[in-house]
Amino acid sequence: MPMPESAPLSTSRVAIIGAGPAGLMAAEVLAQAGVRVELFDAMPSVGRKFLLAGVGGMNITHSEARDAFLSRYAERRTEIARLLAEFDAEALRAWIHGLGIDTFVGTSGRVFPSDMKAAPLLRAWLKRLRELGVAIHTRHRWLGWDAQGALRLATPTGEIAVQADATLLALGGGSWARLGSDGAWVALLQARGIAIAPLQASNCGFEVSAWSPFLRDKFAGAPLKNVSLRLDDEAPRLGEFILTAQGVEGSLVYALSARIRQRIEQHGAATLYLDLLPQHSLAKVEAALRKPRGSHSLAKHLHRQLGIDGVKAALLRELTPAAQFNDAAQLATALKHLPLTLRRPRLLDEAISSAGGVPFEELDRQLMVRQVPGLFCAGEMLDWEAPTGGYLLTACFASGRAAGFGMLSWLAR
């Protein structure tokens, strides 16, 4: 995206509220153009949720083909495609390499920094921003606007007012309030007449009505590996998830979370079908069950013939009527199509990310709020969602960059 050819950028002052990936990326774009950038964050240090995302391995983006990549954004594919046209996964990797951080593609197609950590990347990035002159103010919480239109900020020494030629809000969604993403901005924007789609949990766990005490006490926290889940007639997805005291969570559940949540909203519950043996056909499973078991118990027979034991065997018992265990065909069907009914998502503050936020319809193509000229929004506070796998971070980076260039165009005008 080209920069404006002529503008009094060196005399402009912009304020960025929120120092996550979107806010930091916008700050870089603006500072490189010579704009005076002041970055404010409510937390004692910047990028806290970004650092948390790196615990266990910093999955920065994904290497899959463009069409498959864009499909992850579902209803907001068109809007996110526009952002990624200017800064896609490959561009993000090149940008990271420019910070002196190598990346590699894992066996799943996910992209990681070579050391799998977020902290070195963030340190290198902050060093670049400070060298560009970006002023970073921590422990500065945005409170809205005063009567003169200045930004109100609560600081350790009292409230201050900041006048800016343009402002970017990159405040995150509503999950992980302890890291700064508390959704407090919703009421402030609604008070200005800006429509906000309700914040909802995304990439989250879900609850069942109740597990039996045996299953809950003995197997909460146990992973179910090499299984598949499907919702209605959709294609099954392979992976793994975790049994929790209240229900289920984990990567396979997160991948379906948007559709599960929508189904619960529409029908009060969502039934998924769990295949405990996706590598075996139904006929093969039934044939294995029909083999003579002699003096062995059914539990032993399931283990010997199909490897079903532990949490898989316990969940099969939990969700299958006792009578079906006496019929090989019905038991085979249960092993391949075990119905799992989910009743509600877990709390928003526990979710990895949130859906809802500022709709793209409230913004122009440069991410400026239509009815508040000079106010821009970016990152997770926009109304979009995506599964884990690097898609969330990629869109946050791209939206921050787009907002930065949008602010340059606004300042030039």
Q: How far apart are CA 164 and CA 135, in angstroms?
A: 14
**pLDDT confidence of residue 160:** 97
User: What is d(CA 287, CA 283) in angstroms, rounded to the nearest whole number?
Assistant: 6
Of all residues in the chain, what percent are helix, strand and coil, respectively (each to 5)? 40, 25, 35
Q: Tell me: the pLDDT tens digits for 248-278?
A: 999 999 999 999 999 999 999 999 999 999 9
What is residue 168's three-state secondary structure? strand
Residue 293 is predicted with a pLDDT of 87
Those residues whose C-beta lies under 8 Å from the C-beta of residue 377, and which sit 6 or more positions away, are: 168, 169, 170, 358, 363, 367, 369, 403
Tens of pLDDT, residues 355-385: 999 999 999 999 999 999 999 999 999 999 9
User: Would the pLDDT of 8 be above 70?
Assistant: no
Strand 237-243 to strand 247-249: parallel, antiparallel, or no bridges (unpaired)? Answer: antiparallel
The residue with tokens 């789609």 is 197
Mean local confidence (pLDDT), 72-91: 97
Contact 180, 43 (CB under 8 A): yes
Does pTM surpass 0.95?
A: no
**Burial degree of 133 (CB within 10 A; 0-12, 13-18, 19+):** exposed
Question: Residue 379 in contact with residue 21, Cβ under 8 Å?
Answer: yes
Q: Looking at residues 231-253, what average pLDDT do you find?
A: 93
Domains of the chain: 9-202+353-412 (3.50.50.60), 206-345 (no CATH)
**pLDDT above 50: residue 5:** no
Each residue's pLDDT tens digit, 85-107: 999 999 999 999 999 999 999 99
